[in-house]
Structure 1
């Protein structure tokens, strides 16, 4: 007799839970007002909200930017990149260590620039001003030559952009200090 009471209670609880679920599971209508989703649009027509139809909707908000206006306003010289303020005394770096880091960063950028300029020279030599030398398989199929020419042109444009970006980055850095 006790077993029947326990299973009867379980069934009753399960039915009550099932009946309560649809009432609390989701709102009847979801509205999209620009980039905002809501179930209470208010004056939906005035705000330009549209009813979203379909299944469940999940919106995950992104991170908000952290104090960009203050950092930009405190830039020490025109055109200089803003430096983030140190959050605690432990995060500050001594000036000698910072100069060493800057020198390392400059060396890395200069090495990358040399490598990219070498690749640029190779591509220019192979591209030959838009008329690369034809390979044996391209003699029989001119479309292959056109495809390779177009690919070389795209690669050269990318490498040119990379060289320009590296030069801009080096120009933004402070010049290396001369030790006497």
Structure 2
């Protein structure tokens, strides 16, 4: 090891430690509080947190996961009241909902075409998997496949037989999954 390498490694390590320390210090500038109602925040001052009955979290890692924005459910029909305000509300509330559902709707003919394409693809995949399974079962030979020249050791032969058996089980599971997917599609 050269003498110039060691000091360079030490300098790099020290620099990384300083950066990590500075990052940790900046991350801990604001205390995180746990408030009643299972609210976690770092937005309160110590005085506000004390007034609200919040407790400081020290040394506990906090993970924040934002929930998706929920859209209010549109009500379907009339609500009683009458008047101009009541008449205007359903129209303005229904327009975005109708637009959103209209964009998501697919033409029935196009959906039938998609379903038939999906069925064709799944059926082709099912045929391939059934052919592969038949080939595996033929090689497996009822649990007694022919020994190869490189399998002088019986343990190696048993290992290959076990792998073949596991492969057959996987293929059978794949075929069952493909059949389940085909059953979900509407009849042609």
What is the TM-score when the length of structure 1 is the normalising length? 0.54
Aligned length: 121
The reply on whether 1:158 has 2:170 as its aligned counterpart is yes
TM-aligned CA deviation for residue 61 of structure 1: 2.7
Q: What is the match of residue 144 of structure 2? A: 131
Per-residue CA deviation, residues 77-125 of structure 1 (Å, 9 max, x unaligned), is xxxxxxxxx9331221111111101100000100010011011001101
1:6-21 equivalent positions in 2, closer than 5 A: none
Task: Tell me the residue number matched to 2:61.
Answer: 57
Q: Where does structure 1 lack aligned partners over 5 or more consecutive residues?
A: 1-19, 31-35, 43-51, 67-85
Say which of 26, 29, 38 aligns to 1:24.
Answer: 29
1: CA distance between counterparts of 2:121 and 2:39? 46
Moved runs in structure 1, 4+ residues, more than 4 A?
20-23, 36-40
CA distance in 1, matches of 2:157, 2:128: 27
After superposition, the Cα gap between the structure-2 partners of 1:57 and 1:94, relative to the gap in structure 1 and judged at 3 Å, is same
Asked if 1:114 corresponds to 2:127, the answer is yes
Partners in 1 of 2:122 and 2:105 — Cα distance? 24
Over 3 Å counting, the alpha-carbon distance change for 1:24 and 1:141 in structure 2 is same
How large is the Cα RMSD of the aligned pairs?
A: 3.7
Return the offset for 1:175: 1.1
Per-residue deviation at 1:167? Answer: 1.0
TM-score by length of 2: 0.52
Equivalent-residue separation in structure 1 for 2:147 and 2:173 (angstroms): 27
Pairwise mapping of residues 79-90 of structure 1 onto structure 2 (< 5 A)? 87-90=100-103
1:100 corresponds to 2:113: yes
Q: 1:164 to 1:37 in 2, by over 3 A?
A: farther
CA distances 1:38-73 after superposition (whole Å, capped 9, x unpaired) = 699x9xxxxxxxxx996x624243767x9xxxxxxx
Distance 1:158 1:102 in 2: 26
Counterpart CA distance in 1 for 2:119 and 2:147 is 40
User: In the alignment, what sits opposite 1:144?
Assistant: 156
CA 1:167–1:147: 2 relative to 1, 3 Å:
same
Residues 1:136 and 1:22: Cα distance change in structure 2 (over 3 Å): closer
